[in-house]
Structure 1
Amino acid sequence: MWLYAIDDQGRWLYSTASLRRPKGHGKTPLLAALAVIEFIGPCRFSHWDKVGMPVGTRVALPLVQIAATSIDQTANTRDMVRGMLAESPAEEVYQLDIGKGLIQFRTGRPGRIEPVTSSSRGLEGARPTMVICDETHHWVDSNAGVYVWETLDRNVRKTSGAGSRLIETTNAHNPAENSVAQRTYEAMLAGTSSLLYDCVEASGDIDLKDPEAVMAGLREAYADAYWVDLDGILTAIQDPRTPAAVAYRFYLNKIQETADTWIEKDVWDSLAEEDDPLLPREQIALGFDGSVKNDATCLVASRLRDGKLFLLGLWEDDGRPGWEVDAIAVDARVHEVFKKYRVEWMMADPYYWQTTVNQWAMEYGDKVVYEFPTNRDRPMVEAIERFHTDAHGMGQALKHDGNRDLARHIANCRTRETRTGYVLQKESQRSKKKIDGAIAAILAHEARAEALADGRLRKRKKMLGL
């Protein structure tokens, strides 16, 4: 109702709006209903009646844009709009042509509901009467989300005098991503008067290990969304595979700077076994994550017989101007490791190191050395999830030798949601806190799983007569 509040001149009190609610609350259906209202309903001020009440009228040339960073991401809202209109009285009364992409009038009357993305021809220069932006916590620079929002905002402002507006929905954003949702939140904090920021979140500090406190927070955050299965969400939060960031941001609707920590310190510390060192000729799998400058280059081993991790090489930027990794030293260390231990499988990120990784494969065999590009979201998401699951005792064995540098890199990891799941990142783009050791550990853990699946541990035991 506040979205449609007007002043004594019949002008909107709010030119933009943001609805922040937890996952499953029903934000998308509400956007769909607003799209329908903006398309065919009396949603603009016409005049005051005799008793001083405002009278509404339809938009003369309605152009409702459902915006996202890709066409697939507009599907949820578009399908909801189509579901509301198809075979409804409105379809015949207003003579609607309900297509998979466009919704328009069969009579040829101007007006439509349409999806737009960063690649849409009509994105720049259009004159929308309402722009709907769903899940703007996903709209970041890397997927052109910020560009899309800025363009749409300019388009709306051109016709704001006629009542054009922009509304977005979001979950609690990740403070490290500088998303559109974060920018809107910061605009609200700065006191932007024309912004309607509607948020209900769980209050206070909530211990995720306290079921009663979590349930109280869920009831507060979901408020009147009676259709939500709060018991099911509580179970998901209590599952150790659910990162704290997910619990706070998506279920409790809370913005917390440290909520996106990947693996908590106490969990990682509990996996340490400082005895039972790695011995010469033991079977291992290797993970390698390399860089040239600024970031670190790391080599991590996972022992086949028990999944214990060992940091075998770390080359970090020491802060000196022009620092670059000593590629000769890295190459020498890899050869030393192959000579000292029985390397059954190696996964290496080839970025910046393609030639070197190819040379390792030629020398030690392409059935031992494999490329694993960490910028491929889906395989990396799956590897990260397996590592996280195993670290919480839900899958294969995972231990480590207590190395402080590896623990530091693990602690520096922050999670970022993508369309395929969670990937890892530094706490900010300019952060000097490295996470490359964690990436190498994930690759080593993944390499061990591949080696075990291939039967290489059993083969070695037979060769040794064990």
Structure 2
Amino acid sequence: MIPDGDNAGEPFVPTLDHRVYLANWYEVKDTAKRGDKNQAFRYRTGLWMAAQKVGKSPGVAAETILEFVGPALFAGRAEEGDYYSCAEHGCPCGGVYLYESGEPMGKAWSTPRIQLAAVVEDQVENTWGALIPMIENGPVANIIPRTGEAFIRHPNGNRDSRIEVVTSKADGKLGARISAGKCDETGLWTESNSMKKFIRTLMRGAGGMGGRVSQSTNPFDPAENSVAQDTYESTRPDVYKHYFPPPEELKFTRKTDRRKIFVWNYASAPWVDLRSIEAEAASLMEATPAEAERFYGNRIVAGSGHWVKEGDWKKKAEPIFVKPRTRICLGFDGSDNNDWTGIRAETLDLYQFTPTYLDGRPTLWRPTDWGGRIPRAEVMAAMDHLASEFEIVRAYCDPMFWESEIDEWSQKYGSDGKVFVKWPTNSIGRAYASLERFRTDITNPDSKFRHDGDQVTRFHIRNAIVRARPGQKYIIGKPAEHQKIDQAMSSMLAHEAASDALAAGAAAPAEENYVYF
């Protein structure tokens, strides 16, 4: 039942947005076998990120009830005549669902334990406050006749079958084996409030029982290094990210555009009065405009001083396949044991991409993936592969920590010393001119520059902020230690190399040489 408001007591029907989330979150693998728990589903972790007031809390409450007493587990593929009867599972509503042949069937957990998690109890109150009346005032009351202030006991009588609240302030229940975890406002879960350790413990508890953990939150602040950011930026295939921001060309600072943004964000929330949202957003913008855009604009806002807007970068994404032996230029930004090391490539028609080497590995290395240090042998192997796969016309390489390797590349792949060029990015005047040219080609809708839409590069471009230097110049830097920009530097170097190569006539047709006999 709808828990509150003018329609309280009426049947709860998921919104279109929620239905899309549920359809993806409960997607069953083709390889699923009867008896599989979390491994039956495509996704192990879910993130529902959206603007405030779209109905995330009642949606999560409904999911919690499903996980607690409903058919939330895979029970094999249906055969002709299979059905699900609510009466057979303790519910007198009379509902019967006839499965289609081959359709995934569902069953309930035998001992479900669900934890609603937040930093403090006030945050989880939105979900808990919706959950109680949804149980007490609807048909689920026939199955769960009694709720409680601290937890909700399952009618099977098992002491571990319950719904409970866990927070950073009262985490005595944390670490239990759980069938599901519902995490609220993970955009506020950070290392500083111990919630990163908290989520790791919660995930282990779910993994031990074959359960899954989902999150709901407003868009995060990239400066906070939150659990939501980690989840959103994860490259794991078993992470579902349900996030649909409004079109980038709409400006939140422009009132007419804000109206269009609100129409987009609240299309599945007809109970929201957009006039009220406008008033709240306008008021919040006076003090914290970035927060207003995150909460009501449904955007990940990097804050003031960013070098290139994420939307401008995304507009240039047009992934294509680059054929072997294509003439390319490279940009290389290396580190030793803290920042990332990456190689970006750009064709002479200004298409930029992250190439791959052995078994399709991207030419990008994060120290934490390699025991805390950049794997130099991997980088050397990658460059060997690129030199054999493509024709490298020019490569600009930041020499810090990599002087000897660049000399070796120059000797092996560019005997004239003009192919692999040491290009120090700490040279302010030189870097400023290249950054400005690159930014212009990114933001100019008429420029030929395009790229592959690589996710890590997008995050690094978004992270980069402008740091002023004397003479009305600037460099780019990290807003915080966790917000890396290394692929932004590699991208700038690759574009500079391609632009300089074109200026030197690299794109001109090669002269034909004739031999007469």
Q: TM-score, normalised by structure 1?
A: 0.52
Q: What does 1:67-78 correspond to in 2, within 5 Å?
A: 67-78=117-128
Q: Which residue of structure 1 aligns with residue 27 of structure 2?
A: 5
CA contact (8 A) 1:42 1:57 kept: yes
Q: What does 1:35-54 correspond to in 2, within 5 Å?
A: 35-50=64-79, 51-54=101-104
TM-fit CA distance, 1:211: 1.5
SS at match of 1:253: coil
Counterpart code for 1:82? I
Counterpart code for 1:7? K
2: CA distance, partners of 1:120 / 1:243? 32
Q: What does 1:181-200 correspond to in 2, within 5 Å?
A: 181-187=228-234, 190=235, 192-200=236-244
1: CA distance, partners of 2:292 / 2:227? 21
Residues 232 and 109 (structure 1), Cα distance of their counterparts in 2 relative to 1, 3 Å cut: same
Q: Which residue of structure 1 aligns with residue 109 of structure 2?
A: 59
Residues 222 and 94 (structure 1), Cα distance of their counterparts in 2 relative to 1, 3 Å cut: same
Counterpart code for 1:177? E
2: CA distance, partners of 1:62 / 1:260? 48
Q: Which residue of structure 1 aligns with residue 345 of structure 2?
A: none
Matched, 1:174 2:218: no
- Of 60, 63, 80 in structure 2, the residue corresponding to residue 31 of structure 1 is 60
Residues 194 and 106 (structure 1), Cα distance of their counterparts in 2 relative to 1, 3 Å cut: closer
SS at match of 1:79: helix
2: CA distance, partners of 1:129 / 1:430? 32
SS at match of 1:56: strand
1: CA distance, partners of 2:252 / 2:56? 25
1: CA distance, partners of 2:52 / 2:215? 15
TM-fit CA distance, 1:205: 4.2
Counterpart code for 1:169? S
1: CA distance, partners of 2:214 / 2:305? 27
CA contact (8 A) 2:225 2:482 kept: no
Residues 260 and 100 (structure 1), Cα distance of their counterparts in 2 relative to 1, 3 Å cut: farther
Counterpart code for 2:54? H
- Of 480, 485, 488 in structure 2, the residue corresponding to residue 428 of structure 1 is 480
Residues 259 and 60 (structure 1), Cα distance of their counterparts in 2 relative to 1, 3 Å cut: farther
TM-fit CA distance, 1:107: 5.6
Residues 32 and 216 (structure 1), Cα distance of their counterparts in 2 relative to 1, 3 Å cut: same
Matched, 1:250 2:295: yes
Residues 105 and 207 (structure 1), Cα distance of their counterparts in 2 relative to 1, 3 Å cut: closer
Residues 95 and 254 (structure 1), Cα distance of their counterparts in 2 relative to 1, 3 Å cut: closer
Q: What does 1:220-369 correspond to in 2, within 5 Å?
A: 220-239=264-283, 241-258=286-303
2: CA distance, partners of 1:86 / 1:120? 27
CA contact (8 A) 2:177 2:206 kept: yes
Q: Which residue of structure 1 aligns with residue 135 of structure 2?
A: 85
Residues 116 and 49 (structure 1), Cα distance of their counterparts in 2 relative to 1, 3 Å cut: same
Q: Which residue of structure 2 aligns with residue 204 of structure 1?
A: 248
Q: Which residue of structure 1 aligns with residue 172 of structure 2?
A: 121
Residues 25 and 95 (structure 1), Cα distance of their counterparts in 2 relative to 1, 3 Å cut: closer
Q: Which runs of 5+ in 1 are unaligned?
A: 262-410, 413-425, 432-466
Residues 104 and 212 (structure 1), Cα distance of their counterparts in 2 relative to 1, 3 Å cut: same
Residues 207 and 169 (structure 1), Cα distance of their counterparts in 2 relative to 1, 3 Å cut: same
- Of 92, 97, 101 in structure 1, the residue corresponding to residue 146 of structure 2 is 97
Residues 181 and 169 (structure 1), Cα distance of their counterparts in 2 relative to 1, 3 Å cut: same
CA contact (8 A) 1:127 1:158 kept: yes
- Write the deviation string for residues 405-436 of structure 1: whole angstroms up to 9, x where unpaired: xxxxxx99xxxxxxxxxxxxx953799xxxxx
1: CA distance, partners of 2:115 / 2:56? 17
TM-fit CA distance, 1:140: 1.2
1: CA distance, partners of 2:305 / 2:294? 9
TM-fit CA distance, 1:106: 5.0
Counterpart code for 2:265? A
SS at match of 2:219: coil
Counterpart code for 1:94? I
Q: Which runs of 5+ in 2 are unaligned?
A: 1-22, 33-39, 80-100, 307-465, 468-477, 484-517
Percentage of matched positions with identical amino acids:
30
Counterpart code for 1:104? R
2: CA distance, partners of 1:430 / 1:203? 27
Q: Relative to structure 2, which stretch is displaced further, 230-239 or 3-12?
A: 230-239
TM-fit CA distance, 1:186: 1.1
Residues 159 and 95 (structure 1), Cα distance of their counterparts in 2 relative to 1, 3 Å cut: closer
Counterpart code for 2:297? L
Q: TM-score, normalised by structure 2?
A: 0.47
CA contact (8 A) 1:140 1:146 kept: yes
TM-fit CA distance, 1:243: 2.1
SS at match of 1:143: coil
**Root-mean-square deviation over aligned CA pairs:** 2.5
TM-fit CA distance, 1:145: 1.5
2: CA distance, partners of 1:55 / 1:182? 34
- Write the deviation string for residues 45-86 of structure 1: whole angstroms up to 9, x where unpaired: 112221212211111110011011223332221121111111
CA contact (8 A) 2:252 2:261 kept: no
Task: Give the total of aligned pairs.
Answer: 261
SS at match of 1:142: coil
CA contact (8 A) 2:115 2:181 kept: yes
CA contact (8 A) 1:200 1:220 kept: no
2: CA distance, partners of 1:232 / 1:52? 47
